Amino acid sequence: MPTPAILITGVSSGIGLVTALDLLRRDYHVYGSVRGTEVPEELSGHSNFTPLTFDVRDREAINVALDRIREDGRPLVGVINNAGVAIPGPVETLAEAEYRRQFEVNVFGLIAVCQLTLPLLHAARDQGYSPRIVNISSVSGSLTAPYMTFYSSSKFAVEALTDGLRRELLPFGIDVVSVAPGPTKTPIWRKGSELTDAFEGNRYSHLLPQLEPYTQAAERGGVDPQLVADAIHAALTDPKPSAYALIMNKRWLARAVSKMPKRWQDRFLTKRYR
Amino acid sequence: MQDSILITGVSSGIGLATAKDLLHRGFRVYGSVRRGAGETQLREHPAFTALQFDVRDREAIRAGIQRIRDDGARLVGLVNNAGVAISGPVETVSEEEYRRQFEVNVYGLVAVCQEALPLLHEAREAGFRARIVNIGSVSGYLTSPFTTIYSASKFAVEALTDGLRRELLPFGIDVISVAPGPVKTPIWRKGREQTAAFENNRYSNMLNKLGPYTEAAEADGVAPEIVAEVIYRALTDERPDPAVLVMKKGWIAKLLRLTPKRFQDKFFTKRLAENRRY
């Protein structure tokens, strides 16, 4: 019997890297995508890890990279759509290139990977496996904080894509779930905090000094990415996994706020900036 | 000076009904249309100005806004109504189609907001109440299978509405979403001819459901005039509800949203068997 395989997009750092290591420990074969040539050391030496080089924005590159999985002949039992970017900035002033990039990676990239890997997932299902798609969303997929509106908007879209795709694939026995972390000890926001153009020389410039402390606090109060990896493993293997798993400290608070009337949410989510 | 409102997409449906309603109430209305023809009924109205732009074309939007500026009009409201509805399974819908869904409903809305905001800030600074009303959808609350991409775009609009409202709170510009359920408009009929994503694949059993599906939605739909009335209130009420669902039996949708996802799955699967979306 060949080793079942999982594809994870974006394994160079953060949740993707920790999840790849976790699944390797659990004896899966892991295909992990990286954009450049830099495969993290922890992964490159592992015999059950195969790096694939593609940017999720490049459909052609994804398709070429998938040839490797097709040729290897291992059943693809899971796809983890993890690759993502987080772009801060006011809606009014964020450059078009930046908000487009937010959706190109988090939404169109996810759709492209789903479309191109689904034939392999259907094939695994036909061989008797229960294939899964796990979309990495965010608490921002159910609540929108100001100045992270585009990120939130892309993650709201991911939630809809998860629900819709699950409902469409129900008759075919492929399950689709989302794992939504809150702030995580990963570099995603640090990568974004250098992008301050949208706050400069305009009516939002008073917010500039607040950006860096905010990023640091989010990382400090963040959950350990291993907890997210555990939730992803459960999503891949539980007989009936939760269709939506929110992973964060004080999860009850986020849940309560998302059920509050909007004007209350407004007050709660803008408190930090007053 | 009359208060002016900009509405995108006034050639049919909710946009047309809203333009008529606001003209009737004494507003000056700037309405965007894509093709040269426009709407004759509106064209004859002295307080209506047609702006020709596709929301996907930022340069054209800019020219339209310049027209409002040149008129010296006071822009107190923007109604982001222009939208398309694309159906098809996520697995098979073409890249061109899913991109178009977001180009119009998401990027188009963002571009119009960005271009119109300076005028809204001016009106606000002059002491007037300025508002943005985004036309969402019940599909921005719940995702029905085979309209997933449409839903994803409308979920994105809900987040944009909430985020923008929170960002503009200190400036006193309110941002509201008006989310209709099925409406007696041609939006789904326009999409119905695009059946390529269902053809010759594992979803082809859905093909014979699409007709009844669209017809049921239009038959159960609310009249666009009712949506127009809600938009008017969103523009003028002292403290409007920032998220209004306009739908027959809207409470079912609201309740369904609070139920576990697997329960929702069963609801939609059952509805699909009955050729209904909601």
Question: Lowest-confidence range among A184-193, A251-260, B149-158, B204-213?
Answer: A184-193
How is residue B202 written in tokens?
């594992």
Q: Specify whether the CB–CB gap between B49 and B31 falls below 8 A.
A: yes
Question: Does A205 have pLDDT greater than 70?
Answer: yes
Q: How confident is the model at residue A221 (pLDDT cuts 50, 70, 90)?
A: confident
- Min Cα distance B139 → chain A (Å) is 9
Cα–Cα distance for residue pair B224/B9, rounded to 1 Å: 14
Answer yes or no: do A168 and B91 touch at CB < 8 A: yes
- Min Cα distance A133 → chain B (Å) is 12
Task: Please compute the mean of the pLDDT values over residues A9-20 and round it to a whole number.
Answer: 96
Cβ-proximal residues to A78 (8 Å cutoff; 6+ apart), any chain? A4, A6, A7, A28, A131, A132, A133, A134, A236
Taking CB atoms and an 8 Å cutoff, what residues of chain A touch B267? none
Residue span of the structural domain in which B52 resides: 3-273
Q: Give the rounded percent of residues in chain A with a pLDDT score beyond 70.
A: 99
Cβ-proximal residues to B197 (8 Å cutoff; 6+ apart), any chain? B87, B88, B89, B92, B93, B94, B97, B203
* pLDDT reported for residue A191: 72
Burial letters A169-181, b for 16+ CB under 10 A, else e: bbebebbbbbbbb
Count CB pairs under 8 A between chains A and B.
166
Answer yes or no: do A203 and B160 touch at CB < 8 A: no
Question: Does A188 have pLDDT greater than 80?
Answer: no
A79: enclosing H helix or E strand? strand A76-81
Answer yes or no: do B169 and A103 touch at CB < 8 A: no
Q: Specify whether the CB–CB gap between A158 and A137 falls below 8 A.
A: yes
Tell me which of A81, A91, A118 to substitute to probe the interface with B (most B C-beta atoms closer than 10 Å).
A91
| Residue numbers in chain B where pLDDT is lower than 70 | 36-39, 191-192, 277-278
Q: Give the rounded percent of residues in chain B with a pLDDT score beyond 70.
A: 96
Cα–Cα distance for residue pair B8/A263, rounded to 1 Å: 26
The answer to whether position B278 is within a domain reads no
Annotated domain spans of chain A: 5-273
From residue A200, alpha-carbon distances to A203, B112, B140 in Å are 8, 21, 32
**What CATH topology corresponds to A5-273?**
Rossmann fold (3.40.50)
Taking CB atoms and an 8 Å cutoff, what residues of chain B touch A170? 265, 269
Task: Please compute the mean of the pLDDT values over residues A37-54 and round it to a whole number.
Answer: 93
Question: Does A151 have pLDDT greater than 90?
Answer: yes
B139 to chain A: closest CA residue: A160
Cα–Cα distance for residue pair B204/A92, rounded to 1 Å: 43
Q: What is the mean pLDDT of chain A?
A: 94
Q: Is B203 annotated as catalytic? A: no
* pLDDT reported for residue A77: 98
B56 to chain A: closest CA residue: A96
* pLDDT reported for residue B191: 64
B5: enclosing H helix or E strand? strand B3-7
How is residue B250 written in tokens?
């809207």
CB-based contact (8 Å) between B240 and chain A?
A: no
* pLDDT reported for residue B210: 81
End-to-end CA distance of chain B: 44
How is residue B12 written in tokens?
């049919």
From residue B9, alpha-carbon distances to A57, B16, B44, B227 in Å are 30, 8, 17, 15
Task: Please compute the mean of the pLDDT values over residues A227-255 and round it to a whole number.
Answer: 96
Question: Does A18 have pLDDT greater than 80?
Answer: yes
| Structural domain count, chain B | 1
More confident site: A122 or B41: A122
Q: Specify whether the CB–CB gap between A114 and B97 falls below 8 A.
A: no
Q: How confident is the model at residue A218 (pLDDT cuts 50, 70, 90)?
A: confident
Cα–Cα distance for residue pair B178/A153, rounded to 1 Å: 17
- Min Cα distance A156 → chain B (Å) is 5
* pLDDT reported for residue B51: 96
Q: Residue B135: which CATH number?
A: 3.40.50.720
Answer yes or no: do A108 and B99 touch at CB < 8 A: yes
Question: Does A190 have pLDDT greater than 80?
Answer: no
With CA atoms as reference, report the closest residue to B151 among A168, A112, A91.
A168
Catalytic residue among B30, B98, B150, B232: B150
Read out DSSP for A145-212?
Answer: -TT-HHHHHHHHHHHHHHHHHHHHHGGGT-EEEEEEE-SBSSTHHHHHHT--GGGTTSTTGGGHHHHH
Answer yes or no: do B117 and A148 touch at CB < 8 A: no
Answer yes or no: do B145 and A168 touch at CB < 8 A: yes
Tell me the ipTM for this assembly.
0.96
